[in-house]
Chain A
Amino acid sequence: MKINKLYKYLFIAFLTFGCSDEDIFEIDPDSIVIENFFQTEEEFTLAIRGAYNRMKTVGYYGGSGASGDLIITGDLLSDNLITNAEGRGSNFRSHNWQYNDNTIPTAIYDQAYRIISRANLVLDNVGNLPEGEFKNRITAEALALRAIVHFDVARFFSQIPTQSSGASGSLGIAYLETFDPILLPSRLSTVSEVYERINADLDRAVSLMVPGPAPEIGRFDLNAIRGLITRVALYEGDYERVIQFGQPVIDAEAPAAASQLATLWTSASSQGVLFELPFIVSDPLLDSNYSQGTGASMLAEYSVDRAFFDLYDQATEPERHAAYFQINNNWIVCNKYINGALQTGLNNGRYLRVEEVILNVAEAHFLSSSPNESRALATLDLLRNVRYSSFTGGESGSDLFDSIMLERRKELAFESSDRWFTLKRLQNVPGIPDIYKQGVIRSGNGYLADGTGTAPAELRLPAGDHRWQLPIQQVYIDQNPNIQQNPGY
């Protein structure tokens, strides 16, 4: 019995040796509780990189193979590309403007707001930093990122201020200025309110940003923010502002020389790049938006329209011709992303280059309320001089505008959806030829290199059509009933 008692006490001790809260407290070994973060400069650096990093996803630069990234969406919605009938038919509906609230051309809306929330998280905590250059830089970066990503949503999903006479008063987008996961925001009721906020953020960013180069690749510096301002201002028709912020950028940054184009489009060189997303081995491959594989085993999603290809002159601009195009399997395909320096198909995401700023400023001089054609021409020639071995030049009047637009279409093809936005924003710009105000007019060519083969089923998207504003995916509305669908869907 004695030994039994011993056991009894032993086991009762086991039982009553209960557990406390600590025994069921588990803390994640792989992450840091957010309240304990944002204490050091290094932590802010990590967080701002995390915000930029989300641009390496489908909609921006995700390389999913679904042809929905910023580097192709605007091209396949307009007249640079034709569905390759031997490809997988990626984003085929969008190419024919058959999108609806169930199937939309790009995931940029979803991704943009994730980036915004990360930028807002940094901004909400930036008060933890001591006053000084570091704080100013981080604040400026987060503000500029928040502004420009909102701008991307606005230009796809709302009207662009210069798009129609009623554009500024038409429905805007939700503009988020704090990190709050449970908010159910509404769209701002007008486009002009959206642009006011974008400009306010960009103005603050530019005033805070420390001059000089960014601390590392993939971060905004002062010229990047100025360049972004020229893009926004051009869409608003504020040409003086384009010139004001664009000229210092042009003065400071040289465009890539013709001889640098090949390495620019392997990402070995970044000449002229104002802001890019850095890609490393194991990151997504951007070429899959256009094609996969090389040589005879290539499979292409989209071919370049022969009529567009013919705008390039192999004799006078062989470097750009070679950097942009490849003829393979009797298709003309986009070559910009195939030849990665680190790996085939692996390239940085070029969000803004000085070449665009040059074109923005040239256009602004031409369209300014006090037009200056000679400065427009001189600015345009900054680019033409480094693209062509020879060109006629010396244009004036609508010829000059034609040349600015031609150079814009050629230089910025397959890069930042510029063609779509150009055709969208020019629809109500006064003083330009009518041809720029008619929306998309496709050549009717087929997908083969000689222009034959299956042509797009739809060839025209007239100006003023509701489809210039992409539909809000119904699931976004399901999740947030305060979001209003665009008219026509």
Chain B
Amino acid sequence: MKTKFSGFLTLLLAFVVHVSFAQEKTVTGIITDQDGLPLPATTVLVKGTTNGTSSDFDGNYSIKANQGDVLVYSFVGYKSKEVVVGASSTINVTLAEDAEALAEVIITARSIFDVGNEIDNGVSAMSSEDLKTVVNTVSIDRALQGNLAGVNVVSANQAPGATANVIVRGAFSPTGGLQNPLYVVDGTYMNAEDLVSVNSNNIESVQVLTDASQTALYGSRGANGVVIITTKRGKKGEASITLNTRSGWSNRFPIRTPLMNSRQKLEYENKLAGVVNPVTGNPLGLGVARTAAEIDELAQIDNPWEDILYNTGLSSSYNLSITNGSDNSTNRFSLGYDSEEGIVEGYEGFQRISASLGNNTTINESLNFGYTVSGAYSVIDDPRDRRNVQSPFWSELNNNPYATLYVQNPDGSFVLDDRGERIFNRSGINSFGYQVLDEVFGTDQERRNLRIFGSAFFEALITPELKVRTQIGANYDRTQNENFLRPSALLNSFIGTQGTKSDVSSDRLDYNWRNEITYAKSFGDHNMSATVASEYTKDNFYRIELNGRTFPNDFQNTQNLAGTIDPDSETSRFGISRFGYIGALKYNFANKYFINGYFRRDGSSLAGLDNQYGNFFGASVAWDIAKESFMDSADWVNSLKFAGSWGTLGNDNVLGLYSNFTTISTAGVLYGNNPAAIPSVTVANPNATWETNEKFNVGIAFELLQNSRLRGKIDYFTDTRSDFLFEQEFAFESGSYTSFINAGESKTSGWEFDLSYDIFRNPDGFNLTVFGNITGLEYEITDLVQDQFLIAFPGGQVVHEVGLEPFTFNLVRYVGVDPSNGDALYLDSDDNVTNVFSAQDAVPIEGKSVLPEFFGGFGLNASYKGFDISTNFNYSAGNYVYNLTALNSYDFGGSSARNNRFVGAENFWTQPGDTNVLPRPTVNGLESNSTQFLQDASYLAWRNLTLGYTLDGDALRNVPINFIRMYVQAQGLAIWSGFDGNPEIGDGSTEDNNAVDVAGAYSAYTYPRVRSFNFGVDINF
């Protein structure tokens, strides 16, 4: 009985064997245990290669191999066996039970929360092999870019340690834009910002769950998809030591829109100074008139601000891991150090020390426990990310090239301050009269995180059929932020201070506790299991903020030394709790026909008090067509599976904290020296409840041609969000309050294609695999409680309206320049041309929304003997971005022409007949809220190129080394797009974002793209 049970559970193992190889000979056979019972899902591998297959439910297997090859048969819980391929095409094998390894059987066959391998559709996965070629030192989410069907990854920015927006099947929230999925790291729930604590060297696999049947078990938090990250575990056997090292450097990626040089800018200013008001004839007062001689003189200074503000950022990474296994226990330990300076002058970037420890232990045949604990301590020193002169990125685009870095005497020598230091020049530099290097060197900021996360489980087999299990996952984060404005910084003189300091410390502990009982039994070809489970999750947060001012010097900044502590110093806390019951049934017949069903009921502390619970359910079917007898003759089909699923999931994470109460608070409010109380902006809606995400998916997965030369899967899906949550803004006249409502319904549908093809397969020679994926999406708002919802972002608006894509831009239509007088022309809301700009003429721009219509990636992997090369590209098409950066950099109004401009800004209307020009300059400048700078942000990017060489086997016979891999890698190689600037927009500006900002709606001045080169060595002892 134990055997069968083990075998059944093994089917749930999450291994995906994609690759085989071309061969003249097909070896077939049956694999059985000592009792003669067939062993399904046994791995059959050609030794020394990654080519393999697995046995079916009747123990049958088929593999192509050369005569003389060694086939390795392995099945968890059994001793592996090696057989040399001889003349016979049939090899039947009996595997002996390995009592010592039994622990792994139970441990790896973990839980209903694990993803089975019987269904391929609805899961996108990357293995450690896939990750090896693309992985970024610190950011695992960015490594997913372009590699997973249905998953669109947009880096928020490229600051060291920054996270990415990971969007699964176009998931969005009508309120807050794109929605990140739930991250589950070894059973611990995490947010996107926690991901930097996961050392990518420790990752065994990444799976993204996209459809309902897979995601359901994470129901209350899985509606935006689930990313499951499994870290490496210890293995039985001899201790193994792996050392990964990597070093490299990165630079600013070209900005893709040329800036004016000194002469161009001076001539532009001169041209602008000549513009007069056509009615009065008076000069507009824009630009600066200079003589040709003055221009010649000033143009001799051509300061490359890019070179001043950026430098080459070095990065390095070291990771040591040790695994071992004893009779009843396996262990893995790792220790890593990573640093990434980043490219901005004056900042140290990101540093991290990480460690992890994992253990699985068998107490006896029916009791096991295991745990993993990981910790990371990281320090980030990055520039502020604002939309003004305090940002190096703003300054790069706006500082005039004819302005010097330091204040200089007429003879060219430097003016020194009373400490003998050079003084940053502010004259003529930009419209703010401020040089960002004062900020760079005058402030000292650091964020330190200590994150400890892990999970532990205990499980028992009460009878061979009945298993109970309890698991606790927890994630602790302590964040400390120090931000010091040095007393010597010029900024003090603008804000009336002599040094300020802000200390913010927060503690967050999130944990989840799950209990489950599973009953599994097989009767002949009937295999079934039933699970009931409960899950409780709790988030706790506590924060201390202490602000002080007036400090004695630039180097001592504890609040002890502050002249005064600000009265807005405070503490705050919050908690979120959720509880759910889960029931799941699984049945299959002969591992050919599968039916699964689930039900869950979840309650959330965030939901309206009259409506805290939601019920969700679904079912899936699958058919392993290749196992049918009528397929036996189809030699070219190695695997063919059909799967379909339908189900509902809940989502509550749009709901604001405590938004189910209307409250009044004195928190942080002082009127003079006295406390004051103000009502919360959010008013309670007792009926606000779970948004329901109904997911439908059908797909096929296949491995075809000459032993799986062509592999892939195709899915069609729909994703209907009913009662979607939206933060409604009420009338300004009634006090500008908001409330969370269930506002309507949206529907997303799409196709995913994921293919790979082995062009050459030769274990001893040249191998070449090409792969690619594409996801096409359509989105629509199908129901809404009012005519439209408008959401503003800096520079414009997007709208939700029935029949339109969500986040369709709502702008005044710009139709060019009147050649006769240079006026900017717009269409009014009745489609008449007008030269009067009015925001009331804004209309939805159909077909132009923030959301992409297609995205995906492609690339190739090749190897020849020890050499390997891989490269990949990704692309996104059909999404539009309001190019606020371009608007600002072409503008002439107000003070904007006192900043450097994009080349082309000088091309404005000057005389009747001018076409293809910017409008005639006016003091107003270019209007925002129009389509003039709404741009198609489609792009194709060449992300990665890796060249490696692996030395192993005979070459290392005389040294205690198993293998050495050396590689060089380039990332961020090229990008093609019609967009002015960087088309990949995550956050316009992280610091200026507010809750209603829509990710990817507008460009601003966030940390720019980088191009990096790395060299690495991995050694295994």
Contact = CB atoms under 8 A, between A and B. Distances in A.
Interface of A: 4-5, 7-8, 10-12, 14-15, 18-19, 21, 23-34, 37, 43, 46-47, 49-50, 52-54, 56, 85-89, 92-93, 96, 98, 100-102, 109-110, 113-114, 116-118, 121, 174, 176, 179-185, 216-218, 278-282, 285, 287-288, 292-295, 297, 299, 340, 343-346, 454-458, 473-480, 483, 485, 489
Contacts of B573: 29-30
B581 A18 contact: yes
B497 A27 contact: no
Nearest to A28: B658
Interface in B703-742: 729-737, 739
A44 to B, nearest CB: 9
A114 B732 CA distance: 8
A329 to B, nearest CB: 11
B255 interface: no
A92 B895 contact: yes
11 contacts: A18-B579, A25-B605, A32-B665, A50-B664, A50-B669, A50-B679, A88-B432, A183-B733, A184-B734, A292-B494, A476-B731
B277 A457 contact: yes
B495 interface: yes
A345 B495 CA distance: 7
A489 B841 CA distance: 11
A293 B515 contact: no
B701 interface: no
Contacts of A179: 735
Contacts of B560: none
Given A46-B666, A98-B924, A26 B734 contact: no
B784 to A, nearest CB: 15
Given A11-B462, A11-B468, 9 more contacts: A12-B517, A21-B603, A26-B576, A85-B895, A117-B737, A217-B672, A282-B547, A292-B494, A474-B842
A382 B362 CA distance: 96
B785 interface: no
Contact of A116 (B549, B568, B735): B735
A485 B838 CA distance: 11
Contacts of B574: 26, 28-30
Contacts of B730: 181-183, 479
B470 interface: yes
B677 A46 contact: yes
B629 interface: no
Task: Give the 10 A-B CB pairs with smallest separation, nearest first.
Answer: A117-B735, A89-B895, A278-B672, A31-B665, A344-B496, A474-B839, A11-B468, A49-B676, A181-B737, A480-B731
A181 B366 contact: no
Contacts of A101: 838-840
A110 B929 CA distance: 20
Interface string B564-607: 10111000111111110100000000000000000000011110
Contacts of B797: 475, 478
A26 B575 contact: yes
A15 B533 contact: yes
B836 to A, nearest CB: 8
B272 to A, nearest CB: 12
A424 to B, nearest CB: 22
Interface string B510-549: 0000011100000000000000111010000000000101
B674 A49 contact: yes
Contact of B665 (A30, A458, A474): A30
Contacts of A344: 496
B518 to A, nearest CB: 11
B896 interface: yes
B575 A33 contact: no
Contacts of B673: 278, 280
A100 B576 contact: no
Interface residues on B, range: 35 or more
B803 interface: no
Nearest to B685: A182
Contact of B664 (A7, A32, A100): A32
B927 interface: yes
Contacts of A15: 515-517, 532-534
B568 to A, nearest CB: 5
A216 B564 CA distance: 23
A15 B285 CA distance: 76
Contact of B564 (A4, A33, A281, A346): A281
Interface string B839-860: 1101000000000000000000
Given A8-B462, A24-B604, A281 B549 contact: yes
Nearest to B925: A93
B790 interface: yes
Interface string B670-690: 111111111110010000000
A216 B839 contact: no
A101 B836 CA distance: 11
B1002 to A, nearest CB: 15
Contacts of B679: 34, 50, 117-118, 121
Given A19-B603, A23-B536, A93-B923, A477 B671 contact: no
Contacts of B466: 8
A43 B463 CA distance: 63
Contacts of A53: 669-671, 676, 678
B732 A50 contact: no
Contacts of A93: 893-894, 923-924
Contacts of A102: 837-839, 927-929
B662 interface: yes
A31 B549 CA distance: 28
Nearest to A23: B579
A218 B671 contact: yes
Contacts of B834: none
B117 interface: no
Contact of A31 (B284, B663, B676): B663
Nearest to B431: A88
Contact of B792 (A92, A345, A475): A475
Contacts of B191: none
A278 B496 contact: no
Contacts of B431: 87-89
Contacts of A474: 838-840, 842
A158 B624 CA distance: 74
Interface string B934-974: 00000000000000000000000000000000000000000
Contacts of A7: 460, 462, 468
A295 B922 CA distance: 33
B57 to A, nearest CB: 29
Given A34-B664, A49-B675, A183-B734, A282 B567 contact: yes
Nearest to B539: A26
Contacts of B496: 285, 287, 340, 343-346
A100 B282 CA distance: 22
Contacts of A281: 549, 564, 566-567
Contacts of B469: 11
Contacts of A33: 661-663
B292 interface: no
B895 to A, nearest CB: 3
A21 B612 contact: yes
Contacts of A473: 839
B490 interface: yes
Contacts of B493: 292-295, 297
Contacts of B759: none
A64 to B, nearest CB: 12
B609 to A, nearest CB: 8
B1011 to A, nearest CB: 34
B748 to A, nearest CB: 26
A456 B432 CA distance: 19
B432 A299 contact: yes
A340 B497 CA distance: 12
Nearest to A296: B493
Nearest to A292: B494
A294 to B, nearest CB: 6
Indicate the member of A4, A30, A278, A288 with the most B CB atoms within 10 Å. Answer: A30
